[in-house]
Amino acid sequence: MVKAIRVHELGGPEVLKWEDVELGEPKEGEIRVKNKAIGLNFIDVYFRKGVYKTPTLPYTPGREAAGVVTAVGPGLTGRQVGDLVAYAGDPMGSYAEEQILPANKVVPVPPSIDPIVAASVILKGMTAQFLLCRCFKVEPGHTILVHAAAGGVGSILSQWANALGATVIGTVSTKEKAVQAKDDGCHHVIIYKEEDFVARVNEITSGNGVDVVYDAVGKDTFQGSLACLKPRGYMVNFGQSSGTPDPLPLSALAAKSLFLTRPSLMQYTATRDELLATAGEVFANVESGILRVRVNHTYPLSQAAQAHADLEGRKTTGSVVLIP
């Protein structure tokens, strides 16, 4: 038996229960991993509330972790007991002391990177990589808008985009978060509770608008984000922390020939080669110092409910990590 967080019904943070679960041995193509650190992401909240559907109830949440291989399934090569590995995405179930994972879903963690850093950066970092380098290719001279710039993904997006040579505009909710966003490479920071971000972006860009908006907030920012774009600009909506945006008529895009996409990491790391290349670039940027990973909050795994409450209450910045 191992300890894990289990969800028996959808709802608030209180539905996260600390329980014993059975864990078998790895089968062919699988490994068993003892988790050292587990990343907390807003997608975990979406599943807990039922915004995204889980195949079954009860379930164990979590889609990001780093740990040590403790057993290897029959006939498997390329992974061995003692390896430090990390994974992000599928399968769900990282809120556990140990878990069984498909070997082709994990990536090796360089020895210079602490497991807590690896667990806090792999999902958010790979998300930033595909958003900046493949979904819309950010280059020197581009001006971009990043919502929730002090959040887990926002912090990494801002740093990486700055390193790519873009002018980065970030929105945040408080003065404290504005300080962090500036430190993370935002050239302009807008405290959206104090000023109209659309008007401010218009002012910063001399009325030209931005090349791309990275928006994980959703409902509260969606229409304003579209208004911030220059003609032929890209609206990249990759989350909805404030709720699902209202339906959009195609004619709303026609006025400025805008592009709109709702991408998911899973489609951008669908092959083993894509996964290794994406994770490899993230870890290389951490090792070189391009990315400073802010693990600003750690909680015992047993207190996952408190961590969820703080994340939803906008009390966190940077990455949040659960420690088994």
Least confident window among 50-54, 112-116, 228-232: 50-54
Statement: residue 55 has pLDDT above 90: no
pLDDT at 296: 86
Q: How far apart are CA 313 and CA 324, in angstroms?
A: 23
Instruction: Give the pLDDT band (50/70/90) at residue 183.
Output: very high
User: What integer best gives the mean pLDDT of the chain?
Assistant: 95
pLDDT at 117: 95
pLDDT at 317: 80
Statement: residue 73 has pLDDT above 80: yes
3-state secondary structure string, the chain? CEEEEEECCCCCHHHEEEEEECCCCCCCCEEEEEEEEEEECHHHHHHHHCCCCCCCCCECCCCEEEEEEEEECCCCCCCCCCCEEEEECCCCCCCECEEEEEHHHCEECCCCCCHHHHHHHHHHHHHHHHHHHHHCCCCCCCEEEECCCCCHHHHHHHHHHHHCCCEEEEEECCHHHHHHHHHCCCCEEEECCCCCHHHHHHHHCCCCCEEEEEECCCCCCHHHHHHHEEEEEEEEECCCCCCCCCCCCCHHHHCCCCEEECCCHHHHCCCHHHHHHHHHHHHHHHHHCCCCCCEEEEEEHHHHHHHHHHHHCCCCCCEEEEEC
Statement: residue 246 has pLDDT above 90: no
- C-alpha distances (whole Å) from 33 to each of 187, 278, 320 are 41, 22, 21
Statement: residue 228 has pLDDT above 90: yes
Give per-residue pLDDT as tens, 282-316. 999 999 999 999 898 999 999 999 999 999 988 88
Statement: residue 104 has pLDDT above 90: yes
Q: What percent of the chain has pLDDT over 70?
A: 100
- The one-letter amino acid code at 317 reads T
Least confident window among 181-195, 208-222, 234-248: 234-248
Q: How far apart are CA 215 and CA 42, in angstroms?
A: 13
Q: Which residue has the higher pLDDT, 41 or 213?
A: 213
- The one-letter amino acid code at 2 reads V
Task: Give mean pLDDT, residues 120-133.
Answer: 95
Instruction: Give the pLDDT band (50/70/90) at residue 78.
Output: confident
Residue 43 class from Cβ within 10 Å (0-12 exposed, 13-18 middle, 19+ buried)? buried
Instruction: Give the pLDDT band (50/70/90) at residue 67.
Output: very high
- How are beta strands 143-146 and 167-172 bridged, if at all? parallel
Judge contact between 56 and 88, C-beta under 8 A: no
Query: Which has the closest alpha carbon to 156: 291, 321, 283?
Result: 291
Query: What residues are paired with 146 via a beta bridge?
Result: 170, 214
Task: Give mean pLDDT, residues 236-249.
Answer: 88
pLDDT at 198: 97
Instruction: Give the pLDDT band (50/70/90) at residue 254.
Output: very high
Q: Which residue has the higher pLDDT, 116 or 75?
A: 116
Task: Give mean pLDDT, residues 69-88.
Answer: 93
Statement: residue 105 has pLDDT above 90: yes
pLDDT at 240: 82
Q: How far apart are CA 4 and CA 249, in angstroms?
A: 44
